[in-house]
Structure 1
Amino acid sequence: MTQNFNNNLSIVQNLKIGRVFVFFLMASCSASALASDWRTVLEEELIQRWQTLTNGQDSAAVSFVGIRSDYQLPDCQHRPDIRIQKALQPGRNGIELGCSKPYWQQHFAVQLHVYQNVITLRTALRSNELVQPHHIHQTRQDIGQLNKGFYTRTDEVVGLQIKRSLRPGTVLNPDMLELPQLVKRGQHVAIRLKRPGIQVEMEGTALASGHKGQRIRVRNNQSQKVISATVIARDLVQVQ
């Protein structure tokens, strides 16, 4: 009876020892995997974090900045901790890898490439031209490289005015576009005076250019008085 109990105890102990061995073997393999192929592990981790942030809406990739292709991490008895110095974003990110046993820290710069369909010029446009639907289309771009911004919808740019001449293939950004000038400095305009139950118009001269909704100075050609008015349409300003 005692011999059977000892045998059973030996089996239980062996199972426990086996489980502990498997645990340390898996931990060792995990740490070893990161040490031998740390770029792939880090890339997968960052992409997974980005997919979580965006609910999987964007495709992404990672490249390493200024790191030799044969560089390997120092030894670590566990999987090194991965810390992102700031909120993960498209473009360059600062990454810190750290180990507590033995203690070390490594800092890297990685480029997070995030790809989206953005509005791009199909044809060349000259300064002051208005963007029309046939001028543009969508192309897939790395938005981490688009530091000045971008558009993703055609209705965001159609009807806007080009500030300077642009070539085909240009990714449109807010610095390139503005609301169209409906009134130009020096031109004759109609000044509309609107009050409850009353609306009259008189001739005037614009003393500044302006787009819809912008307030500019105009001169009443009859009284020569300079007033402030809001551009509401081409060659038309309104005084409330």
Structure 2
Amino acid sequence: MLCPMHPSRRNHVMRQIAVALLIAIALAPGTAPHASGAFTEPTQIRQAAERFVAELADGRGTVHATAGHLDARLRLPACAGELTPFLSPGAVVRARTTVGVRCAAPAWSVYLPVTVESEAPVLVARRSLRRGEVPLAADFDRSRRRVPGLAAGFVMEPDALGGQRLRRAIAAGEPLATAMLESPPLVRRGQSVTAVTRAAGIEVRLSAEAMANAAAGDRLRLRNPTTGRLLDGTVQPDGTVEVLP
């Protein structure tokens, strides 16, 4: 009788199989270099990934990207052209990012982890601030810091505060990340709002009940108090909600 394998053990086995298959493909006779016997140096692959991430900084701060080491057993044929780094569709650069590097001829690709940090002038809290508090420019100093990920993920100018409030508490001396801020709710749960529907050049307005708090630009579910029908829409800057088709 076979015993079920623990999920963590199964995942470990699957990773080992994946690495073994990749190495087998790289070492297969059809993929090995012919005349020169040359291989792509792992350092070339790592440097290509690091340069790629650094270029995404868009001039905001100095990026420090450190690519992880490839399996020492991996032998990839020398590339006839330039190595092309890439991100998977929908991926964004974070403090720990996976970058792909591919070669067109002969065709191969490999993925490796990259640790990303940036040095840039960012806003740093002068004092501890509570969740829900609306921070002011006077609550921060502008200081050059080394922060995880790209500098674009941190607030660099006081003007960017824009009356937003804190999603969570922030300690004195902590850099302010953009993800820590949120716009105050323009619509509150239970509030009666104007829902706007447009179709074929005709605009219809009706009163509906907001089912949650929402800021301008947020998606919000509404309930028609007369029919009980639920609607989804987007909160507009004037507080109305444009119903989605």
- TM superposition score category, shorter chain reference: 0.3 to 0.5
Greater fraction helix? 1
Greater fraction strand? 1
Compare CA radii of gyration and give the structure with the larger one.
1
